[in-house]
Amino acid sequence: MSWLAWAAVAVFVGAYVLIATERVHRVAAALGGAGLVLALGTLDSDQAFYSRDTGIDWDVIFLLLGMMLVVGVLKRTGIFEHLAIRSAKLAGGRPFRVLVLLVLVTAGLSALLDNVTTILLVAPVTLLVCDRLGVAPIPFLIAETLASNIGGTATLVGDPPNIIIASRAGLTFTDFLGHLLPVVLVVLAAFLLLSRVLFRGAMRADPDRTASLMALEERETITDPKMLARSLVVLGMILVGFLLQRQTGPAPSVVALVGAGLMLLLSPLKPMDLVADVEWETLLFFVGLFILVGGLVKVGALDTLARQLAHVTGAVVARGRVRPGQFTFHGPSITISSDAGVGARATGLHRHRAEAHAAALSLRSRCHWPVSPRPPRR
């Protein structure tokens, strides 16, 4: 590799170490590293800001921004506190049942909203519920934190890494939901069973204090019923837009921004108040990170790494530069080609499914495995 390539790698590693060790704020490390990449000439402004291969992925940035604005409106209605208190009362004040329902609420909200925001909204109510029951809040908070990570995996918008993967691989909201939701449900069920064992010593409440919890009035948490009704309608429209992405065409970022704009128009809140709720640190962190990774792509560092990994694993590598999403799987080998499109198309998925089915039939003829000879669904 050239000196410029080594410099790009050094900048990336240095920024990563600073982020991992928290010696400096992650935004400062990411943007500082991005500035060095631009100053060294690894990327020019067009490559950093407009290139699909080496630049900032604005679809990711604007999808995050749109959903942050949506959350900013929703949280002012009191709906999250309402759901938490309602769940605790439905559990009858029994600690483990309360934990189960709060975990389910947290996982469900995290599938649609940012994980950190969900915890920040649910945790204060959890502390109130635990105080009323006279139980330690730590097991509840730990369970909710893990549930937010589990639930956020289920959808495209549940976690920033999901958004990045979907943008680079051309996956839709339904692709994520169809493949990951069943897995998430199984993991969530296993986690609840494990919680029963791990936290059994902390699930003892004073029966006399249960009445204190049941006396909480969840309706009082709703601050603006009209705004809540409008916000839920808009949120429903956003979800429909996500689900119909393959049929209608607009990217999730467009759907989120349109929904956020509609919420701002229908809300009596001042836009500047909602802008203050946006997690600008997260957005700026991803901006810097995209430029850092783009520098590695430009100098061929990721291409070299991919070839080394392919050599170690015995994969087949075609000539050409690797771009995000350019990995095509063919049976036991991996082909990395310069003309591979970003994202898997439906026809490609059907083709690979047919190839896999043919390989399975071949294995059956040699190993006598019971593989169905039916053709793949289309």
DSSP code, position 67: H
Nearest CA to 258 out of 99, 65, 106 is that of: 65
Q: Which of 327, 329, 324 is nearest to 352 (CA)?
A: 329
Enumerate the domain spans of the chain: 60-272, 302-367
String of DSSP letters for 76-118: TTTHHHHHHHHHHHHTTT-HHHHHHHHHHHHHHHHTTS-HHHH
Q: pLDDT class for 32, splitting at 50, 70, 90? A: very high
Q: State yes or no: pLDDT of 53 exceeds 90.
A: no
pLDDT score, position 111: 87
CA atoms of 33 and 295, how far apart (whole Å): 10
Is residue 128's pLDDT more than 80? yes
pLDDT digits (tens, 9 = 90+) for 236-283: 898 888 888 777 778 888 988 999 999 888 888 888 888 887 889 989
103 touches 143 (CB < 8 A):
yes
Q: What is the pLDDT of residue 1?
A: 66
**pLDDT at position 287:** 92
pTM for the model: 0.70
Q: Give the span between the Cα atoms of 169 and 109, in whole angstroms.
A: 25
Q: What is the structure's pLDDT at 258?
A: 92
Residue with tokens 């943008």: 167
Region of 93 (left: φ > 0; alpha: ψ -120 to 50; beta: rest) is left
